Amino acid sequence: MAENFTIYAPIDGELISLTHVPDPVFSERMLGDGIAIDPIGDTIVAPFDGEIINFNPALHAFTIAKDGVELLIHVGVETVMLNGEGFAPLVAQGDKVVKGQPLLQFHPTFLSQRLSCAYVLLVVTSPAGALLVNRAPEGHTATGTPLFQVLLQKETSSAADNTVQKSTSVLANVRLYDNPEQLVSIHIANGKIEKIVPTQESCPGQLDGKGNYVLPGLIDLHIHGFGGFGPEIGTQESLLRMSQVLLEQGVTSFCPTLYCGQPADMENLLRTLSPVVGTEKGARILGFHLEGPFISPQKPGVMKPQDIAPASLETFERLYQAAQGKIASMTFAPEVAGIEPVVNFCKEKGILLQAGHTNATYEEMLQAKSWGVHHVTHFCNAMSPLHHRAPGAVGAALMDNNFSCEIIADGVHVHPAIISFLRRVKSSRKIVLVTDALLPTGQPEPPFYANREEVILEGGVWRRKADHVIAGSALTMLQGVKNLMAWGYSLEDAVACASTNPARLLGLNDRGMIKEGACADLILLDKNLNLKKVFRG
């Protein structure tokens, strides 16, 4: 069976965006995904074990194949050394090659005369489809360093056989999370809960829940990726695969979250991804969460400062149009100049406004509340702290019960004692569990990349490899539920934080609860809260 594999840099050079390739006509007609290198070295080597299936010196191109996946390597030299005279091939069509084996040697004349726009373009194509994940960030790369992994298409299935993606007629012998004393049967029709009755005798089509707990499906409103999939990959396929793997984790609805980026880049990403929203077979996509670009330069977190943009209604309208209106929420700093027209637009369109990555004063937070902003992004993280003379954003969110608080309950982003304290001073209706998980969460093998930076798992969180600064969470929603209970929350409170409250925030009255007429998005847990089955209504 074909296995996933890594593609390594075939030459020393600088990784550049495909948009910087000086021959866009060539790259745009490739039916695949790729990366470009401005070469520094003088030899191209095999980026993986494979076979040369095509070698065309006249077009400065050759193709290496492995397990049905083809990697086309195109050497662009503009007008310098045409017709293959710029390099000497060291292999021929039909040759078997191994990783690191020299394939092509540049002529010294090419190295001395080449223009700065020379490049090596690598494009992956596959009849069966292949996905590139864990891309190396732009910048210098040395021969033999990982560029990305090729993930081959396979039928998705849960190793524990714990995922059911269609409704069953009756789920019998289960305990409701908020009333565990009685065994009940949940009757499901057309993806909806038809009725809930005490379990009596078995009936046709019944699935025995064996006395396990049943909870509404988990809803994650802030998540960047999972299992190596996510919006930052930039393909519709990756977003759909993220939906599939999240369902296997008990998440039945989610908001894929975009990092703060250059507005034009965010626009292009939304334009690419939005057409598949509503076609997913896994966890339902509720709409995109935009974490920026109108955030505070003083509180960027791991967002790139150069990507932070001044507030502009025109900019946001373009983002909204690119997303085909499929924006569920936006994180912004309420103190930035010119933000109020954007706030008003979001309110008109039903977009959840989240104050975050903000250096707002207490008074500015109260002003935002008067505009209708009642939710904060990852409470305590990337926001002005509580001080006895300046309560800041943390103080406003903590003391004013109009604000609901998004929390990353991994015990690192916020101390468990603060999460326990939050429950004592705020209604459980005002606490929303999220993961803010990064793309490599749940990914089995390195290298791990998030937001085009290499990260490592250390102390239960992802940290940038370069400086060990926390880059984001490795939390799952189910582990977050378990953590809340370990820190003093009841099961009913934890479910409210993980399902009911997120649904209410987005105005969804058909999920996040178990009642007649609700969507039959359900998860089955044993007494230790281990996931047994998932139902997508």
- What pTM was computed for the model? 0.79
In this predicted structure, what is the pLDDT of residue 163? 60
Q: Report in angstroms the alpha-carbon separations of 307 from 7, 139, 322, 438, 466.
A: 29, 17, 18, 19, 20
289 is catalytic: no
The residues that bridge with 431 in the sheet, in sequence order, are: 405
In this predicted structure, what is the pLDDT of residue 53? 83
In this predicted structure, what is the pLDDT of residue 137? 77
Alpha helices for 278-339 (secondary structure H)? 313-322
| DSSP 3-state percent helix, strand, coil across the chain (nearest 5) | 25, 35, 45
- What 8-state DSSP symbol labels residue 142? -
Q: Which residue of the set 20, 60, 74, 224 is catalytic?
A: 74
Distance of alpha carbon 208 from alpha carbon 188, whole angstroms: 14
Domains of the chain in sequence order? 5-152 (2.70.70.10), 155-213+525-537 (no CATH), 218-511 (3.20.20.140)
Q: Write out the DSSP string of 423-452.
A: HHHS-GGGEEEE--B-TTTT--SS--EETT
Taking every pair of C-alpha atoms in the chain, what is the biggest distance, in angstroms? 86
Q: Write out the DSSP string of 171-215.
A: EEEEEETTEEEEEEEEEEETTEEEEEEE--S--TTEEE-TT-EEE
Distance of alpha carbon 15 from alpha carbon 33, whole angstroms: 15
Q: Give the DSSP H or E segment for 260.
A: none
Q: Write out the DSSP string of 256-284.
A: EEEPP--HHHHHHHHHHHGGGTT--SSSE
Chunked mean pLDDT (size 10), the chain, 537 residues: 79 77 49 73 88 74 82 66 59 88 75 58 67 76 86 50 61 92 91 90 77 96 95 91 95 97 94 95 97 96 92 97 97 97 97 98 97 97 96 97 96 95 94 97 88 89 90 95 94 97 96 94 93 92
Among residues 299, 298, 296, the alpha carbon closest in space to that of 311 is found at 296
* 214 class by beta-carbon count within 10 Å (0-12 exposed, 13-18 middle, 19+ buried): buried
Residue 68 three-state SS: coil
Residue 458 three-state SS: strand
Distance of alpha carbon 314 from alpha carbon 319, whole angstroms: 9
Residue with tokens 């007429």: 517
In this predicted structure, what is the pLDDT of residue 192? 93
In this predicted structure, what is the pLDDT of residue 513? 95
Distance of alpha carbon 201 from alpha carbon 444, whole angstroms: 43
CB 347 within 8 A of CB 341: no
Rg of the chain over Cα atoms, rounded to whole angstroms, equals: 26
Residues 6+ apart with CB under 8 A from 369: 396, 400, 402, 403
Encoding tokens for residue 59?
A: 């077009």
In this predicted structure, what is the pLDDT of residue 419? 96
Distance of alpha carbon 33 from alpha carbon 448, whole angstroms: 19
Encoding tokens for residue 236?
A: 């519709």
In this predicted structure, what is the pLDDT of residue 158? 44
Residue 248 three-state SS: coil
Looking at this protein, which amino acid is placed at residue 133?
V
